[in-house]
Amino acid sequence: MSKAAGFDIEIPYVAHLGIRKLAEETGSVTTGLHVNPELMNSWHVAHGGAVMSILDATMGMSAKSLDPEANGATTVELKVNFLAAATGDITAKGFAQRAGRSLVFVEGEVRSASGDLLAKATGTFKLRHPAARHPT
């Protein structure tokens, strides 16, 4: 299996959808997605699941970016408000707002190519770390 474009870990579902990482800094990740016909609903706009998926991946990677030792982030809770229909190229941004020892609160948004706000989200993510290795 291949890694999603620009991601440092293998996420087959993200690669399958075509989500690509555009930028990353500590606490913030930006991704992009072209809404292909396969990602559309019966009204020929992005299916809500595609919008939620780009938010979930982007926000999780934003949480992970706070800890260089983390090898992933698991979604604990995700709430999305859909504000407008999505078509064409969309961009998602995640902003890690508050981190505890293992839980991170993140805000996210999806915008159209012209900058229109399409969706807003909040979520909680649990950072995942490699299992400690013990000498045998």
For residue range 19-30, list pLDDT tens digits in order: 999 999 999 999
Between CA 67 and CA 3, with CA 20 as vertex, the angle to 5 degrees is: 70
What sign does the dihedral 28-73-6-40 (CA atoms) show?
Answer: negative
Fold that domain 12-128 belongs to in CATH: Thiol Ester Dehydrase; Chain A (3.10.129)
Position 8 scores a pLDDT of 78
Q: Is 72 left (phi over 0), alpha (psi -120 to 50) or beta?
A: left
Q: What are the φ/ψ torsions at residue 80 (nearest 5 degrees)?
A: -125, 135
Query: Of 129 and 121, which is predicted with more confidence?
Result: 121
Position 7 scores a pLDDT of 77
Read off the pLDDT of residues 72-124 as tens digits, 9 standing for 90 and up. 899 999 999 999 999 999 999 999 998 888 899 999 999 999 999 999 999 99
Q: 3-class SS at 20?
A: strand
Parse the chain into domains and list their residue ranges. Answer: 12-128
Name the DSSP letter for residue 8: S
Q: Report the C-alpha gap between 98 and 126 in whole angstroms.
A: 12
Position 90 scores a pLDDT of 98
Please report, rounded to a whole number, the percentage of residues in the chain having pLDDT higher than 90: 79
Average pLDDT estimate for 29-44: 97
